[in-house]
Structure 1
Amino acid sequence: MTAATLRKMTEADLPAVMKIERSTFPFDAWSEGMLRGELADQPRTRYYIVAVADEEVVGYAGLAAAGDQADVQTIAVSATMQRAGIGSAMLRELLTEATRRGATAVFLEVRADNPPAQAMYEAFGFERIGLRRDYYDDGTDAIMMMRKLSVESGNG
């Protein structure tokens, strides 16, 4: 398996990103317009990256950051490349960027029916802080998670 490299997402990546978005989140996929809006706020308040393997986009992730708070907006990896460390590599990059931007805490919501994603976030030191009932379009709850960042030690 080819290792993936990470780079900043551009509008040219949207067709490949939307394909992964729709297959990963069939009940509540973002629209292309929503993603374009997120990219329009780069680099001011947003930071979006793609993972590329064999010249193909195989994953993407996004961060919103304002003041001392950051939020993981999304992370998705194509089905054929899951469990290859790509999600972890992208999350690590988002945490590094959050630290670089001066955030002291990172928040996210994760589907209550997605134990693999929950386990990845917990492995990175995220803690459950609450529940949003019926958060997703199909009625699934979201688990709210947070990780404090240490300004001195980076994202370690």
Structure 2
Amino acid sequence: MTIEVIIDGPQKFTGKDGKTEFIIREATLKDINDVVAINRKVLPENYPVWFFVEHLEQFPKAFIVAEVGGKIVGYVMSRVEYGWSNIERGKVVKKGHIVSVGVLPEARRLGIATAMMLRAMRAMKIYYSATEVYLEVRVSNTPAISLYEKLGYKIVGRIPRYYSDGEDAYLMACPL
């Protein structure tokens, strides 16, 4: 499935199943409770509400949600920061950080995460001038790793005991 994302306004897609329609758009403050509920339901790493609000306020163009039938079913929370490049050693860059991605189980395998990720990545490049993007992912999360590799990410490192349960994370990065 080839996805061409826009970066302004809501965008409608038909899922990989050929029938489910979903909308990708920038999150609003009204979406935060739904986003937090998704985070709590699908991820073991949970953040306080203020953390989501802070990211939405600072990087609204790169905080993306997905809706099916008017219900929020997924989100991508991002930020942009200065730091050492994860791609070009020894270089300081402005880089995007995919902080958290969550999609409800009933909305998976439709292309929602792909569309949200592409929209967030494009927004980080165009609105916030990021030249690369990175994320951390559990070494055991094969479906997510596969998705990120399809989007152009490569494993550039491993972070021992990154998660609170002691599991390692892969550091994955992608040029924008």
What is the deviation of 1:59?
A: 0.4
What is the deviation of 1:9?
A: 1.0
| Aligned counterpart, 1:38 | 55
Q: CA RMSD in A?
A: 1.5
Distance verdict in 2 for CA 1:91–1:4, change over 3 Å: same
The two structures have a TM-score, normalised by structure 1, of 0.87
| Aligned counterpart, 1:153 | none
Q: Which runs of 5+ in 2 are unaligned?
A: 1-18, 83-93
What is the deviation of 1:140?
A: 1.3
Q: 1: distance between equivalents of 2:142 and 2:69? A: 29
Percent identical among aligned pairs is: 29
Q: How do 1:80-119 and structure 2 match up within 5 A? A: 80-100=106-126, 101-119=128-146
1:5 aligned to 2:23? yes
What is the deviation of 1:18?
A: 1.5
User: 99, 113, 123: which is aligned to 2:150?
Assistant: 123
The count of residues paired between Structure 1 and Structure 2 equals 146
Q: 2: distance between equivalents of 1:19 and 1:102? A: 30
Runs of 4+ displaced beyond 4 Å = none
Q: Which runs of 5+ in 1 are unaligned?
A: 150-156
| Aligned counterpart, 1:77 | 103
**2:62–2:119: 8 Å Cα contact kept in structure 1?**
no
